Amino acid sequence: MLTAASGARANNPSSSRTDAAWRVLATVLDPEVPAVSVCELGIVRDVIDHDDVLEIVLTPTYSGCPATEVIEHDILQALTAAGLGPARATLRRAPAWTTDWISAEGRAKLLAYGIVPPGPASDAAVPMRFFPRGLKAAALACPRCGSLNTERLAAFGSTACKATWRCLACKEPFEHFKPI
């Protein structure tokens, strides 16, 4: 099916360069979760061909993300190595990144990697939920054995966007990518 956007892209002589850039970007892995690409995480928002330079528009997962500079470097290096440079990265912080931007493929790869993907952020009552002592978070299915007999150990895991959980059935720890 040819949409208006794809038709315009097909008539644009730079569309092949833009399409090639998207293919390259799909291979650039997130440095903190190397099971998913920056495209699958929804960090890459747009690729704009300005004839003299490719502009890659990025929205970091959160404004203080320590991996932002590494992601920019990896993206620009991949595009240069593919012969698509020169390129520059532009950070766009509004609208703020949301876990809803993670693709279905990204969610499946997170789960296969042992990280429970987030549910819809729109289901969250507030951007961040704090649980008083004694109040349990909703059970998550263990990514290894599927048991719902799990517990949250810590609100923050290896990064601020993940929480640490443990399966009480198979005794394995796992992380949950929090919906934001």
pLDDT digits (tens, 9 = 90+) for 140-167: 999 999 999 999 998 888 887 888 999 9
Q: Who's near 156: CB < 8 A, 6+ residues apart?
A: 162, 163, 164
pLDDT for res 9: 36
> CB atoms < 10 A from the CB of 56, how many?
26
pTM for this prediction: 0.71
CATH 3.30.300.130 boundaries in the chain: 4-97
Q: Distance between CA 75 and CA 57 in Å, rounded? A: 11
Contacts of 63 (CB under 8 A, 6+ apart): 93
Residue 4: band (very low, low, confident or very high) from pLDDT cuts 50, 70, 90: very low
pLDDT of residue 161: 82
- Find out whether 31 and 41 touch, Cβ atoms under 8 Å: no
pLDDT of the residue at 123? 54
C-alpha distances (whole Å) from 12 to each of 5, 7, 51, 133 are: 11, 9, 11, 58
Strands (E) across 19-169 are located at 44-49, 54-58, 87-91, 115-116, 150-154, 162-167
SS3 45: strand
Q: Does residue 17 surpass a pLDDT of 80?
A: yes
Task: Single out the residue of 107, 103, 130 nearest to residue 118, CA to CA.
Answer: 107
CATH architecture designation of domain 4-97: 2-Layer Sandwich (3.30)
* Closest-CA residue to 38 (of 72, 64, 3, 63): 72
Structure confidence at residue 6 as a pLDDT band (50, 70, 90): very low
Q: At what angle do helices 15-25 and 68-81 cross, to 10 degrees?
A: 130
What does pLDDT average to over the chain?
A: 84
